[in-house]
Amino acid sequence: MIKETDLNTAIWLLFLGVPLAAWQMGEIYTITLATKICVLALAGVGLNIALGLGGMVSLGHAAFFGIGGYAMGILASHAQSYAPIMETPFLIEGTKSMPVIWVLAIIMSGIAALAIGALSLRTNGAYFIMITLAFGQMIYFFAISWPAYGGEDGLSIYVRNDFPGLNTLVPIQFFALCFAILTAVIFLSSRLEHSRFGMALQATRQNETRTQAVGLTPYKIRLIAFVISGMICGLAGAVSADLNRFVSPTMLSWHTSGEIMIFVILGGTGRLFAPLVGAAIYIMLEHFLGGVSDYWQIFLGLLLLMVVLFAPGGVIGLLTKREAAHD
């Protein structure tokens, strides 16, 4: 059987190699697909911290993904129209700078995750699933009914935002940027997993009572993890909005939450590279089956059902044959 770390290295190299080869051959569309996979995988890495490490089954992560997207949309649309966001009591203007947008996206989605997490984590099990779902829908309906930023139609941004030293309009450069972010976040999430905090988080998943008995507060640990997870999804949302140059309430809908969860599960819950593998499978299915049949989601549904019923460790679990770290 393949060792998981070897497999991870292979996956990482493959994801770097394919777009580079496509670049050499002038296959722009393949680079865009790979960028899309990177961005969606980033959201999956975020969810995996809550879901895989903390055992928090959140069906509301689209909220953070969408808030990140809207942070980008709002800032860039104001920069685009030269209208300041507010003038009193002090002047705030829009921006086209990616790093500034990312920081704000992370902060805003972190605040949302803190509020939603603080309320939702008072409950557990099925209640937690339904409540995160409901709060996600609350933000979704708010985005639809609030007309200032496009309401149901969403917001278009005409030119991709800037990153110092790069021309983000060139597909391979934007891919490199997204891949670098993904690699950095995967690295951070692996450090987190093996840190004292990560150990405590996994302990709350495995046995709450014992965690309390050794003097830890599960609520606080879960909340921090939930906020970190939401922040990463917010960052993913901002980058994804830049990839599509478009934000709409669809980013906030619970189907998006479900899809992010599918990435994690297809790959294998709790595994470091699961979101990347899962997102890749998902996008490939969409690309290839979508070309064959308009009803490709039936096959996605069947595949997902098979994975849940017969291969709980996901694809990485099948390849490494090690028990999945979820309970």
- Under the binding rule (CB under 8 A), the answer on residue 291 touching another protein is no
- Under the binding rule (CB under 8 A), the answer on residue 146 touching another protein is yes
With beta carbons less than 8 A apart as the criterion, state whether 59 and 129 touch.
Answer: yes
- Under the binding rule (CB under 8 A), the answer on residue 288 touching another protein is no
Question: Measured from the CB atom, is 94 or 136 closer to another protein?
Answer: 136
In the complex, what is the shortest distance from the CB of residue 116 to another protein, in angstroms, rounded to a whole number? 9
Q: Which stretch binds another protein (CB under 8 A): 81-89, 97-105, 261-269, 281-289?
A: 261-269
Q: Mask 77-106, x = binds another protein (CB under 8 A)?
A: ------------------------------
Please give the structure tokens belonging to residue 140.
Answer: 């979704």
Question: Measured from the CB atom, is 189 or 257 closer to another protein?
Answer: 257
Question: Measured from the CB atom, is 170 or 304 closer to another protein?
Answer: 304
Q: Which stretch binds another protein (CB under 8 A): 33-41, 142-150, 160-168, 228-236?
A: 142-150
Pairwise CA distance, residues 31 & 176, whole Å: 10
Please give the structure tokens belonging to residue 235.
Answer: 């960052």
With beta carbons less than 8 A apart as the criterion, state whether 189 and 198 touch.
Answer: no
Please give the structure tokens belonging to residue 8.
Answer: 């991870």
With beta carbons less than 8 A apart as the criterion, state whether 157 and 76 touch.
Answer: yes
With beta carbons less than 8 A apart as the criterion, state whether 183 and 12 touch.
Answer: yes
Residues 147-206 that bind another protein (CB under 8 A): 147
Residues 39-58 that bind another protein (CB under 8 A): 51, 57
- Under the binding rule (CB under 8 A), the answer on residue 290 touching another protein is no
Please give the structure tokens belonging to residue 201.
Answer: 């988080």
Q: What is the 3-state secondary structure (H, E, C) of 184-236?
A: HHHHHHHHHHHCHHHHHHHHHHHCHHHHHHCCCCHHHHHHHHHHHHHHHHHHH
- Under the binding rule (CB under 8 A), the answer on residue 295 touching another protein is yes
Measured CA to CA in angstroms, residue 89 lies from 70, 82, 92, 107 at distances of: 23, 18, 9, 21
Q: Which residues bind another protein (CB under 8 A)?
A: 51, 57, 59, 119, 122-123, 125-127, 129-131, 133-135, 137-138, 141-142, 144-147, 254, 258, 261-262, 265, 269, 295-298, 300-302, 304-305, 308-309, 312, 326-327
